[in-house]
Structure 1
Amino acid sequence: MSQRQLPFTPDLPHRSSVFESVATFVLLAALLYLGAGILVPLVLATLLAFALAPLVTWFNRRLHLPDPVAVIVSVALALAALSGFAYLAGTQIIKLAAELPGYQETISTKIAGLQQQFGNNTLLEQINGAIAGLSDQMASTETRPGAPIPVTISNEIGPLGILSSVLGSIIGPVATVAIVAVFLIFLLMGRGDLQERFIRLVSGGRYSKANIAIADASKRVGRYLLIQLAVNTVYGTIFGIGLWLIGVPSAILWGLLIVLFRYIPFVGALIIAVVPFLLAFAVDPGWDMLILSVGLFLLLDLTTANVIEPRLYGSSTGVSAIAILLSAMFWATLWGPVGLILATPMTVCLVVIGRHLPQFQFLETLLGSEPVLSPSERLYQRMLRGATEDAIEMTEDHIEAHNTQHYLDGVMMPALRLASNELADGPDALPQRRRLVESFEALIREIATVEWPEHSSVLLIGGRTEIDECAATLLGIRLANEGIESRVLPPVAVRQEAIGRLDLEGVEVVVLVFMGDDIRTHTRYVSRRIRRMAPEARVAVCALNDLSAQESNETLHVDTIYRSVDDAVDGALTGLRRHASDDLQASGRAEPFAGAGRGDDALGQAIEQIADSFEIPFATINLLQDDRHVEDDAAFHLTSIVTETRQPLVVHSKTAHPLVGENAYLQTNGIDLYAAVPLVLADGTCVGALALLDYEPRAFSEEDVTRLEAAAQDLVQRFGNVSAG
């Protein structure tokens, strides 16, 4: 019995998801549009709460006002400032309306002059005709002595009708202001409870993330609003004073309005500045007033937008310019002019939410100003496209800001890891791998001089692909910076057809570098062949893929596995030191301070006696060539200071030292006192330091330093100058 198979439709879930997203967006937009009457006052109150919250806190802490009183006083001050602004603007508008008819003759004369200069222009004729018609209309409405008064028949409007008309024109704005004020008072008074409810709603149990998001949003939005108010106020003051000095009518009005209109992104200041330009054109028979007004606006606006605001705002908003523009268009479509003013603060809130709450991370990606790709991802994309010039420019900028080593380890190596994960070891990805390798080689030539010697004790071989060879090159550069010469060979050098011709003369360590995860079979084969060809050489693997973590020395048949470039560098240093030590002992000589007093030998007992003599719990010898320093860079930093200066070093963890600063080794291990003196051999070589460590606060006098130097000289005489036996 056959069964009917359903057709395979792999893209249905994707289409459904896109449809759901679009439907959700349309539904939210409809709700925002239909609910504008409630949402606009609420959003205005929320943004004002961000701005007034620091003032309320100041009243609470500095003047010790109760919270309700502080809220009422703050809101009252804000309303008083708004009322004063509205009163000044209203009086200036009334004054301007009374003066406008006197400017018509100047405008007509100036346009007529333009017609004479540029000929009969249709646009100028239309403008002049419109002005003439307006003048005739206004003249016909004036009452002349002896002229009959026109009579019109209309319904009689009583006092109640007049009152209704006036109230109808003002009740809307007054009601909006009242609703915003009430919302604002309740938001400020209940800000703690509302914050807890918001955290409970969006945190999903991750309260720390939600707290950080709220604090960040409050800081960014509040800072943005206050700085914007300060910048706009200074801008409007300078603009108004400048227009007054130029002679433009109602200069105070334009200074006030430009403070408000500059909250509209990009074009707000220009929208309101056009009106005083037209007035300058109408008032002045010449052109000086118009030219000076335009010049004042351009100088002020360009300086503010390109010099002052970038320095003041910095990263306070975190919103990209294109996001602000799209946001302004979106909110203006939904809520009209108020949406233009609210666009930037609301977008800042969305970006902050996306930065701290994972479920809204797409908001930061779409709207944020921060790069969405890390430096390593940006470099990888450029190398993948073969954009070598862009990659070199990015490389130079990063090295200038940090250093070459930080770039190699923190940017280039992660970029190679991305390439290894995405570009499969197959013919399909071969063109992309070659393009990436060409860009990599060009970058290396720009930042480092790489000349591999014909023979070296360390041999680095790319495991399987060209990307592995690139990683081996970075490891070789790191070793070169540590003073270790190495050779780097491509993967073809250990292929079955070529490995028999591999030159292993003088090679002590062979390191196979892999960025991928499939390394077992290939590593076993290469290790087996190398052991047959050079039994004395050590074989190591540098596995730079986390998926290779389950591999071990036994599974790979190698001596050592390194999990990072740092481990490989440290391992190479340790291996070569150990090899040098073996050669030294084989020649009948021993290293100074052999064993560094780690065991219960004569040197260890002597160090313990020194500690007892100072009544200090711990004494140690720190040697520059001690492999323990590979894992403890902080302690090595202290030792290097002593050996470089060849002077005693006494450091207390709670007291800053000019050479040490805040040393992590002392703080992490709870050490209060570190006292060390150099260990100088008879031939003048400084090999390390004798150090005393105490976990309790105690003084260390000059006499104690002299005693410690004498103990160090005694150790050098007994255990430091070891010659052939």
Structure 2
Amino acid sequence: MALQKTGPLVPRHQRLPDDDPALALDAGDRRTGIVQIAAWLIVGAIVIGLLYFGRDVLIPLAIAFLVSFALGPLVKVLVRRGIPQVAAVLLVMLAVIAALLGLGLLITSQVSVLSAELPAYQSTIRSKIAGLGQQIEGPGLFDGVFQTITTVQEQLATALQDTPGSVADPMAVTVVGDGPSPFSTAMAWLAPALAPLATLGIVVVFVFLVLLDRGDLRDRLIRLLGGNLHRTTDALEEAGKRISKYLLMQLVVNATYGIPMAIGLWAIGVPGWILWGTLAAIMRFIPYVGPMLSAIFPLALAFAVDPGWQMVLMALALILILELVSNNIVEPLLYGTSTGLSALSLIAAATFWTALWGPVGLILSTPLTVCLLVLGRNLPQLAFFDTLLGSTPALDLPTRIYQRLIANDPDEAYEIASDAIRISGVTAFYNQTGIEILRQATDDYHANARVEHRLRVVDGMDRLLDDLQEDHPAPADTASAEKVVCIGGKWQVDAISAQMLVHALCLSGVAAGQRATGVVTTAYVDKLELDGIRTVVLSYFSRDPDTAVRGFVRRLRRRWPDVRIVLALWNAPEDSIAADRAESLGVDQIVLSLDEAVQRLSLSHADSPQAAAEAGDAAGERARLAALAATAVLDGHAREELDDLAARAADAFDVDFAFISVVDADAEYIVGQSMDLAGQKTETAPEMIWMPRGEGLSSPVVTSGETLVVSDTERDARFSDHPAVRRWKGRFYIATPLRTSDDQVIGALCLMDDTPRQIEDGDLDFLDKVAADVVSLLTEQDPVAPEPRREVPPDPRAMLGQRVPD
């Protein structure tokens, strides 16, 4: 798209005088920042010093806390079954110790047998090495170089011996004394064994104490962290669950790798198969390097045992197959699809902990780093750990794409956008990301952007949209018979947003086109060619476009009086849109988001697929009505219980009221409510409000089967003029489906408030649980736990990463 002249040149910013207060304020901010950085460096140095000098105490503590995180869920299960806390802890610890002792005995027996058999393999090793030596004998590429080096060394040695005054090699002198005493010899043998045993004893004691009194430790940690009690409690609970799940899943992953490894090596015939399977399971705690190190020993032994190469190749194939299965099937199945730690942070953490705590630090590096990552994601005080260690991008999606455009890298911007579109769709990408990119470009236009940056952003967005339109073409019938025309108001970003809206409308089934942005004159308006066009959308990013809009609308009305004009204000705060602003500007409607524009324009065109979205499958509708009739809820028998559930939801979400509705063939009935609502009453149950199904609030939920969240009903075409919403003065509306065990949606649990607001996935999970209780009451069946909602994780910034449970 060619650049267009959009307005007067922006004057350069004047240089502030040296005594300007703004300069002094900036200098003060810089000094404060330097002091903060220095303070953080000092604190970091102190922490690292404490970790190093206190490793004799901290290593057992770290091992104990990690083990307690893994064993904590088992203790909870036993306590819930009525076993006292002390007995549950003892049972779990005794079972773990017995399992470790049994495994240790097996490994010891394997080592003893293997050490007795190793001398028998010397002849095989010698013959294989001799065979390899014969194969590589003969003239080689570097033989001449090696021969030259050998000749030079011999000549230098001869010259040194002939030099006068050279001294012969000194004679070695050996001092013979009384040897070490038996006591010192015994201590030398026992000291290396006593240190691990002492550490193991400390770990056992710490694990017992932590499992025995986890509540007291949690209380002390909450007191240390301070802040909001609710938030800190939720953060610690989630962090504990995730860390426990990670350790247990890591143990399961390693076991599912080590057990097949041992069985496979036994089938192949490699001696010491229990030892190598156990070693493979343990070494997988060390990312990347551990599996490779554990593979060396069975491969070397297969090389020594088999005179041929069949055993080595079979062992190698076994290891490769297990790695592929574990990495691509087992880990995604147990952990989920998200990655937690980046590859760089894993390597850096392994180096850091190894330097501080030696080999034990290398084994503990991944669990400790995962703990820090989970705490960083849940505790604001430690949020920097998530930025440093996590694989999630440090910048949000719009900022990442905007930065790539500024850096003149539209190809990477397209890759990032394509990955997001595969998850959310084109229209959602435009609404949530595309408009935000243009909003950032608008805000930076005068403040930070140079001319080169502005050109890069505009050209990059043009290329990005062209590629997206080519990858996601609109239906063929939307290319002809245009009914909606989008025009950028003034700047180039206005034209780009109009292009986004055209593409989104075409994808939704609305025939739309775009007209070039230009200086608004009578001649320009006459050339717009709007014959047969029903709606014109004017796109503006300016925060105060009223003067320009009035002039544009006046000329449009004069030339095209029957055209419906919609004004899209992409950068205007919602609270700045007064009720009479559309009338004062001369437009028919004002929209504030691309999603709202697509929704309103789609509903205003009868031939749009979205206009017929309420049509459902006849057979599915009959099954749904049968499921509703089976509950017999319309006779009002469960009204009191349903009112209580609605009141519970209203109190928990702090909304004005909540209600429970079911949708019959022709009408929607409110069968439970937290307060008396005005509306039409039924004849059979005077306390039950009803409305025609076409005007029902829950019909979209019943049709789609998905939770509906409307942050502001005034910005939603389905509810802005809804009689019930106006009667009840609802601005925020949310409805989650009432789904039976046979997957039939019979109604919805709804919340309404008089103030626009947002809601998080965690709150929606609670609403789903209340809806499950409603269905359980209606069907007289045990409630089915709904699947928790999970935000789609952003793309990892590294190709490799350690997985963390969702």
Give me the TM-score of the superposition, normalised by structure 2.
0.63
What is the CA–CA distance in structure 1 between the aligned matches of 2:187 and 2:684, rounded to whole Å? 101
What is the CA–CA distance in structure 1 between the aligned matches of 2:263 and 2:314, rounded to whole Å? 13
Aligned residue among 68, 77, 80 for 1:49: 68
Residue 92 of structure 1 pairs with residue 116 of structure 2: no
What is the CA–CA distance in structure 2 between the aligned matches of 1:351 and 1:430, rounded to whole Å? 39
Aligned residue identity for 1:469: A
Task: Give the secondary-structure state (helix, strand or coil) at the position aligned to 2:518.
Answer: helix
Say if 2:490 and 2:540, in contact at 8 Å, map to a contact too: yes
Residue 512 of structure 1 pairs with residue 530 of structure 2: no
What is the CA–CA distance in structure 2 between the aligned matches of 1:529 and 1:186, rounded to whole Å? 81
Q: Give the unaligned 5+ runs of structure 2.
A: 1-17, 143-175, 607-678, 698-712, 724-736, 754-776, 779-806
Matching residue of 1:447: 472
Residue deviations 1:316-345 (CA, integer Å, cap 9, x gap): 872233322222222112111111211111
Deviation at 1:487, TM superposition (A): 5.0
Say if 2:525 and 2:559, in contact at 8 Å, map to a contact too: no
Give me the TM-score of the superposition, normalised by structure 1.
0.69
Q: Give the unaligned 5+ runs of structure 1.
A: 124-151, 578-607, 637-652, 671-696, 699-725
CA shift in 2, pair 1:353/1:615, >3 Å = closer
What is the CA–CA distance in structure 2 between the aligned matches of 1:285 and 1:504, rounded to whole Å? 86
What is the CA–CA distance in structure 2 between the aligned matches of 1:657 and 1:249, rounded to whole Å? 53
Aligned residue among 288, 291, 300 for 1:269: 291
Residue deviations 1:106-161 (CA, integer Å, cap 9, x gap): 434443333333228999xxxxxxxxxxxxxxxxxxxxxxxxxxxx8635735x55
CA shift in 2, pair 1:343/1:318, >3 Å = same
Of stretches 452-461 and 417-426 in structure 1, the one that deviates more from structure 2 is 452-461
Deviation at 1:454, TM superposition (A): 10
Residue 343 of structure 1 pairs with residue 328 of structure 2: no
Aligned residue among 27, 30, 50 for 2:46: 27
Aligned residues: 593
Q: Percent identity?
A: 33
Matching residue of 1:492: 518
Task: Give the secondary-structure state (helix, strand or coil) at the position aligned to 2:245.
Answer: helix
Aligned residue among 170, 178, 186 for 2:193: 170
Residue 220 of structure 1 pairs with residue 242 of structure 2: yes
Matches within 5 A, 1:517-556: 517-530=543-556, 540-547=566-573, 549-550=575-576, 552=578, 553=580
What is the CA–CA distance in structure 2 between the aligned matches of 1:223 and 1:166, rounded to whole Å? 40
Aligned residue identity for 1:193: D
Matches within 5 A, 1:390-469: 401-424=423-446, 427=451, 429-449=454-474, 459-469=485-495
What is the CA–CA distance in structure 1 between the aligned matches of 2:347 and 2:460, rounded to whole Å? 37
Aligned residue among 140, 157, 162 for 2:181: 157
Aligned residue identity for 1:466: Q
Matching residue of 1:183: 206
CA shift in 2, pair 1:620/1:281, >3 Å = closer
What is the CA–CA distance in structure 2 between the aligned matches of 1:280 and 1:613, rounded to whole Å? 83
Matches within 5 A, 1:170-319: 170-205=193-228, 207-315=229-337, 318-319=340-341
What is the CA–CA distance in structure 2 between the aligned matches of 1:366 and 1:420, rounded to whole Å? 30
Deviation at 1:33, TM superposition (A): 1.4
Deviation at 1:403, TM superposition (A): 4.2
Say if 1:458 and 1:487, in contact at 8 Å, map to a contact too: yes
CA shift in 2, pair 1:503/1:93, >3 Å = closer
Deviation at 1:48, TM superposition (A): 0.2
CA shift in 2, pair 1:548/1:305, >3 Å = closer
What is the CA–CA distance in structure 2 between the aligned matches of 1:484 and 1:164, rounded to whole Å? 87
Of stretches 244-253 and 68-77 in structure 1, the one that deviates more from structure 2 is 244-253
Residue 471 of structure 1 pairs with residue 497 of structure 2: yes
What is the CA–CA distance in structure 2 between the aligned matches of 1:481 and 1:237, rounded to whole Å? 52
Matching residue of 2:613: none
What is the CA–CA distance in structure 1 between the aligned matches of 2:116 and 2:338, rounded to whole Å? 44
What is the CA–CA distance in structure 1 between the aligned matches of 2:680 and 2:274, rounded to whole Å? 87
Matches within 5 A, 1:90-129: 90-119=108-137
CA shift in 2, pair 1:663/1:389, >3 Å = farther
Deviation at 1:68, TM superposition (A): 1.3
Residue 368 of structure 1 pairs with residue 393 of structure 2: no
Deviation at 1:470, TM superposition (A): 2.3
Aligned residue among 333, 340, 346 for 2:355: 333
Deviation at 1:547, TM superposition (A): 4.3
CA shift in 2, pair 1:404/1:176, >3 Å = same
What is the CA–CA distance in structure 1 between the aligned matches of 2:746 and 2:349, rounded to whole Å? 47
Matching residue of 2:745: 661
What is the CA–CA distance in structure 2 between the aligned matches of 1:654 and 1:295, rounded to whole Å? 51
What is the CA–CA distance in structure 2 between the aligned matches of 1:454 and 1:235, rounded to whole Å? 59
Say if 2:489 and 2:495, in contact at 8 Å, map to a contact too: yes
Of stretches 291-300 and 452-461 in structure 1, the one that deviates more from structure 2 is 452-461
Residue 80 of structure 1 pairs with residue 98 of structure 2: yes
CA shift in 2, pair 1:268/1:121, >3 Å = farther
What is the CA–CA distance in structure 2 between the aligned matches of 1:299 and 1:575, rounded to whole Å? 58
Say if 2:271 and 2:301, in contact at 8 Å, map to a contact too: yes
Task: Give the secondary-structure state (helix, strand or coil) at the position aligned to 1:319.
Answer: strand
What is the CA–CA distance in structure 2 between the aligned matches of 1:486 and 1:285, rounded to whole Å? 75
Task: Give the secondary-structure state (helix, strand or coil) at the position aligned to 2:178.
Answer: coil
Report the aligned-residue RMSD: 4.6
Say if 2:405 and 2:456, in contact at 8 Å, map to a contact too: no
Aligned residue among 564, 579, 602 for 2:593: 564
Task: Give the secondary-structure state (helix, strand or coil) at the position aligned to 1:209.
Answer: helix
Aligned residue identity for 1:47: L
Residue 68 of structure 1 pairs with residue 93 of structure 2: no
CA shift in 2, pair 1:574/1:426, >3 Å = farther
Aligned residue identity for 1:513: S
Task: Give the secondary-structure state (helix, strand or coil) at the position aligned to 1:318.
Answer: strand
Say if 1:354 and 1:362, in contact at 8 Å, map to a contact too: yes
Aligned residue identity for 1:43: A
Say if 2:410 and 2:460, in contact at 8 Å, map to a contact too: no
Residue 58 of structure 1 pairs with residue 58 of structure 2: no
Aligned residue identity for 2:213: G
Task: Give the secondary-structure state (helix, strand or coil) at the position aligned to 2:341.
Answer: coil
Matching residue of 2:774: none
Q: Comparing both chains, which one has the higher relative contact order based on Cα–Cα distances under 8 Å and sequence gaps of 6 or more? A: 2
